[in-house]
């Protein structure tokens, strides 16, 4: 009869054998069977029961990859490559892998589908090709100011363009041409300073709309390689000029950045803008070839270093007739001071709560230094068009709650606050003794009124998954999609865990949200924003109250449901036979 020690020893050996790691290897190729170099692979625990963040590796020049030390279990393997993007910019390949104890899995072949291509032609109003035109496509709901998902091509002399490696998504297209009209001027002797163009090709959104509001979204996906055709029209243009100067005390060394851009421009502002030039010696500026429209003019110094920028920022209307000269005056920013306090008006951070100590060893012995950390930051983002041009931040003093933004240009600003003690949110913004809706303030001139940011404790909420998953131990990632911009910075991932752990209270900024739950391994492999815009319409918005104590119902979306939603978003209800 075996001893109890022997039985225990055998049990331990059996348990160890069940945890013997294995290896996973294979090759990544394109649709023609050519090996893909530098493809990124990520292996994540599919059951969501492990706490590790997964393993990552990249392919070699021969397309080969290898994961070592893979514990037994079910995994989700994703493959990404910059020339083979997947739907909505995520990984193109995602497969389930089961690893048994000590398993040596070899020869796994992963094949990318053929890249999506967007092509077309740019023609003038007489049907003739137009060369040297920049054609841009951007996702329908891409975040403003983000250039990571923009694609661009330039037309040749026959007007054709082709954009390769396009991520499957829904896009809008825009073109702007460098060619000027009328071309007969080019046959004349060009004066020393060039001739002044009187017309140009109108910037156009597909199909033939002068504004983004008239753009027609189109799907680009495998089996749907779209062909676009732009038809340009001539539009009159004028030069804008006038005196250029600066307020007393304003100095700069680098050339001044100067541009006008359509007032309703979104992410296309960067390629719809018109650059101007200033001549400081004679005190004048010049913008050439400005079509009729409503614009915003922005001029700013851009010297590096501690010198705050001086700016000019104002709306501008350009008509069909040449406008009268108008001035541009660079002015220094305006100091804005304020205080962050709780909703009762008391001090936000108690003395000593944001202090740490550093010990330095010296020849005479150890010396302890006190380090006082900021309580957080106050940030002003421009609420006018072109918000990416300006952003200014200041630390919040941990002892007094005060902050000072030394140089804020005149204009409309949205106040945001982020505290290192992440249990409060911006309850209201008080400026000039008024509560500002949506946290937007307007700086007009010095001295600026004091800014008061009232904060309150974030309410506690719990989450209940409405469509209970089959596996009660499976983890889920709860994502909150705000209906309106938040004054307090907050990640979209507000909770994570199995259905039982989601019943415990967690904090969130009050507001109106759409809540969804995704499998962490699947959601963690991609940028959430494009996926959320597809799933958000499938759930109703919920108002999170400041009082807390709510139980938020959350709908779960499995991998299969997400993939079906993406396919419907791209192809509609009847995908073509060639769709993956």
pLDDT of residue 525: 54
pLDDT of residue 486: 84
pLDDT, average across residues 414-431: 83
How far, in Å, CA of 56 to CA of 38, rounded? 12
What pLDDT sits at residue 16?
Answer: 47
> Which pLDDT belongs to residue 222?
86
- The CA-CA-CA angle for residues 262, 268, 272, to 5°, reads 50
pLDDT in tens, 317-354: 998 888 899 999 998 888 899 998 876 544 445 444 55
The mean-pLDDT minimum among 165-174, 240-249, 419-428, 498-507 falls in 419-428
- pLDDT for 516 equals 93
Nearest residue to 323 (alpha-carbon basis) of 261, 237, 240: 240
Beta-ladder partners of 402: 339
The mean per-residue pLDDT over the stretch 59-69 comes to 93
Whole-number pLDDT of residue 249? 83
pLDDT of 257: 87
Predicted local distance difference test score (pLDDT) of residue 52: 45
Q: What is the pTM of this model?
A: 0.79
pLDDT of residue 374: 74
d(CA 292, CA 312): 21
Domain spans of the chain, in order of start: 17-111, 116-236, 238-332, 334-457, 460-571
pLDDT > 90? residue 229: yes
What integer pLDDT is reported at residue 342 of this predicted model?
Answer: 77
How far is 47 from 36, CA to CA, in rounded Å? 29
Lowest mean pLDDT among 2-16, 117-131, 218-232, 250-264: 2-16
Q: In the CATH hierarchy, which fold is given to the domain comprising 334-457? A: Immunoglobulin-like (2.60.40)
% of the chain with per-residue pLDDT over 70: 79
Average pLDDT over residues 296-321: 82
Give the confidence band of 501 by pLDDT, cuts at 50, 70, 90: confident
The candidate with the shortest Cα–Cα distance to 205, out of 138, 294, 296, is 138
Angle between helix axes 559-571 and 528-535 (nearest 10 degrees) is 80
pLDDT-derived band of residue 9, with 50, 70 and 90 as boundaries?
very low
Q: How far apart are CA 575 and CA 580, in angstroms?
A: 9
Tell me how many helices (H) and strands (E) the chain has: 5, 43
- Does the pLDDT of residue 294 top 80, yes or no? yes
**Within a 10 A sphere around the Cβ of 296, how many other Cβ atoms?**
22
**pLDDT surpassing 80 at residue 194:** no
Confidence label for 28 from pLDDT (cuts 50, 70 and 90):
very high
- Which pLDDT value is given to residue 367? 65
Which residue has better confidence, 178 or 137?
137
Range of lowest pLDDT (178-187, 257-266, 384-393):
178-187
* Cα–Cα nearest to 540, from 574, 505, 516, 571: 516
Mean of pLDDT values over 525-546:
85
pLDDT at 7: 47
> What's the mean per-residue pLDDT of the chain?
81
Q: What is the predicted pLDDT for the residue at 387? A: 46
Residue 499 has pLDDT above 70, yes or no: yes
List the single range of 148-152, 234-238, 299-303 with lowest mean pLDDT.
148-152
CATH number of 116-236: 2.60.40.10
Q: Whole-angstrom Cα distance, residue 312 to residue 258?
A: 9
Q: What mean pLDDT comes out for the span 105-131?
A: 91
The pLDDT score that the predictor gives to residue 282 is 82
Between 279 and 146, name the one with better pLDDT: 279
pLDDT level of residue 230 (50, 70, 90 thresholds): very high
Identify the CA nearest to 172 among candidates 272, 296, 289, 293: 272
pLDDT at residue 371, rounded to an integer: 56
- For residue 45, pLDDT over 50 is answered with yes
Region 437-464 average pLDDT: 86
Looking at residue 12, its pLDDT comes to 46
Please tell me the CATH superfamily of domain 17-111, with its number.
Immunoglobulins (2.60.40.10)
pLDDT of res. 10? 45
CATH number of 238-332: 2.60.40.1120
CA distance 515 to 557: 11
Q: What integer pLDDT is reported at residue 521 of this predicted model?
A: 67
């Amino acid at each position: 009869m075996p001893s109890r020690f022997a039985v225990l020893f055998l049990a331990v050996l059996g348990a160890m054998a069940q945890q013997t790691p294995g290896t996973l290897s294979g090759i990544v190729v394109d649709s023609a069977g050519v090996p893909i170099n530098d493809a990124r692979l990520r292996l994540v625990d599919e059951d969501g029961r492990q706490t590790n963040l997964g393993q990552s590796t990249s392919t070699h020049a021969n397309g080969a990859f290898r994961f070592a030390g893979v514990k037994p279990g079910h995994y989700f393997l994703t493959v990404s490559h910059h020339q083979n993007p997947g739907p909505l910019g995520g990984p193109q390949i995602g497969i389930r892998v089961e690893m048994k104890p000590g398993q040596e899995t070899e020869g796994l072949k992963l094949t990318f589908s053929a890249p999506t291509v967007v092509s077309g032609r740019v023609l003038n109003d007489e049907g003739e090709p137009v060369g040297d035109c920049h054609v841009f496509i951007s996702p329908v709901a891409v975040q403003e100011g983000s250039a990571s998902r923009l694609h661009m091509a330039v037309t040749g002399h026959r007007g054709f363009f082709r954009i390769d490696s396009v991520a499957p998504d829904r896009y809008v297209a825009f073109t702007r041409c460098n060619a000027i009209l009328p071309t007969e001027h080019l046959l004349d002797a060009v004066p020393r300073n060039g001739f002044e163009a009187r017309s140009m090709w109108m910037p156009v959104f597909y199909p033939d709309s002068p504004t983004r509001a008239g753009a027609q979204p189109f799907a680009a996906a495998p089996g749907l390689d779209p062909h676009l055709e732009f038809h340009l029209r001539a539009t009159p243009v004028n030069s804008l000029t006038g005196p250029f100067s600066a307020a007393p005390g304003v100095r700069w060394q680098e050339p001044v950045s100067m541009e006008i851009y359509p007032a309703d421009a979104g992410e296309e502002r960067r390629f719809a803008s018109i650059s101007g030039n200033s001549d400081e010696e004679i005190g004048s500026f010049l913008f050439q070839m400005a079509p009729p429209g409503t614009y915003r003019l922005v001029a700013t110094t851009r010297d590096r270093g501690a010198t705050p920028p001086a700016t000019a920022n104002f709306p501008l209307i350009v008509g069909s007739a040449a406008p009268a000269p108008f001035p541009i005056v660079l002015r220094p920013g305006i100091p804005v001071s304020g205080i962050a306090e709780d909703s009762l008006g008391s001090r936000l951070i108690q003395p000593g709560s944001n202090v740490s100590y550093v010990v330095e060893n010296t020849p005479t012995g150890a010396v302890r230094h006190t380090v006082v950390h900021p309580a957080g930051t106050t940030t002003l983002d421009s609420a006018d068009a072109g918000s990416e041009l300006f952003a200014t931040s200041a630390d919040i003093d941990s002892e007094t709650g005060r902050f000072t933004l030394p140089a804020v240009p005149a204009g409309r600003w949205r106040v945001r606050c982020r505290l290192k003690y992440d249990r409060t949110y911006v309850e209201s913004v008080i400026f000039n003794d008024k509560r500002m809706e949506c946290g937007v303030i307007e700086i007009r001139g010095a001295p600026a009124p004091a800014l008061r940011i009232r904060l309150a404790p974030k309410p506690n909420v719990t989450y209940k998954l409405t469509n209970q998953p089959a596996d009660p131990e499976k983890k889920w990632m709860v994502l909150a999609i705000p209906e309106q911009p938040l004054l307090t910075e907050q990640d979209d991932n507000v909770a994570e865990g199995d259905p039982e752990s989601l019943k415990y209270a967690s904090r969130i900024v009050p507001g109106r949200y759409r809540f969804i739950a995704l499998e962490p391994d699947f959601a963690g492999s991609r940028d959430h924003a494009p996926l959320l815009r597809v799933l958000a319409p499938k759930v109703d918005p919920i108002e999170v109250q400041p009082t807390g104590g709510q139980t938020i119902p959350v709908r779960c979306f499995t991998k299969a449901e997400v993939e079906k939603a993406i396919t419907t978003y791209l192809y509609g209800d009847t995908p073509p036979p060639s769709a993956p």
